[in-house]
A and B are shown apart, each in its own frame.
Chain A
Amino acid sequence: EIVMTQSPATLSVSPGERATLSCRASQSVSSNLAWYQQKPGQAPRLLIYAVSTRATDIPARFSGSGSGTEFTLTISSLQSEDFAVYYCQQYNNWPYTFGQGTKLEIK
């Protein structure tokens, strides 16, 4: 099983600033990496797939990068609605696995 490790566990950022979230895979997942956002009491929302492709209706301030085992989600200018938990997910090998999440909180 591929283990996905996210850092940091919690990130405190002010609105309008940039946030950078990291995700590392225990082995290469090629470009089969996605990011999700989850708010309390809600289902996850797909943000990014194939490392850097934004899902439908996802704002351009969300961007993804990386390859192999190291990946990054960047939110260029944080809006109030962006404060949530973010998960990376690999779909290169079954079982598909998620990172433990990064909580993005208001500073």
Chain B
Amino acid sequence: EVQLVESGGGLVQPGGSLRLSCAASGFTFSSYWMSWVRQAPGKGLEWVANINEDGSEKYYVDSVKGRFTISRDNVKNSLYLQMNLQMNSLRAEDTAVYYCATRGPLAAAGTRDYWGQGTLVTVSS
């Protein structure tokens, strides 16, 4: 059974940093693209970042480019999202549930049929 378990969320002050983790199991992690998708409270979904199987290709939505870094460890079967330590890096609009997601062998590339339960990041002073 595919399982994706996020962790690392919490309360962080504007300008702070946070690293989210996603522990994957039940599938060959190193064979699949992975993604982070977020959802602000009461709002819709926003696709944040993608990473390919070996970590050599990374894509970001413009709103997080230069501030967030997606990475993976195929030995530990883990996905990460570093929400970066820079002046004004984390903003109130980054407050959201962050989901880790991937697709199984039958779903189309670019869609996600396996999702974690999400981890809440709250940016507030």
Interface flags for B75-106 (1: CB within 8 Å of A; 0: not) read: 00000000000000000000000010100101
Contacts of B46 in A (CB 8 A): 98
Secondary structure call for the A interface: loop
In the bound assembly, the distance between CA atoms of A50 and B111 in angstroms comes to: 9
Q: Which of A44, A56, A100 lies at the interface centre, i.e. has the most chain B CB atoms within 10 A of its CB?
A: A44
CB distance from B61 to the nearest CB of A (A): 4
In the complex, residue of chain A having the shortest beta-carbon distance to the beta carbon of B60: A95
CB distance from A72 to the nearest CB of B (A): 18
In the bound assembly, the distance between CA atoms of A104 and B59 in angstroms comes to: 32
Contacts of B110 in A (CB 8 A): 32, 34, 91-92, 96
Q: Which of B106, B109, B113 lies at the interface centre, i.e. has the most chain A CB atoms within 10 A of its CB?
A: B113
Q: Which of the segments B12-20, B21-29, B115-123 contacts the partner chain?
A: B115-123
In the bound assembly, the distance between CA atoms of A91 and B37 in angstroms comes to: 13
In the bound assembly, the distance between CA atoms of A50 and B115 in angstroms comes to: 19
In the bound assembly, the distance between CA atoms of A56 and B118 in angstroms comes to: 22
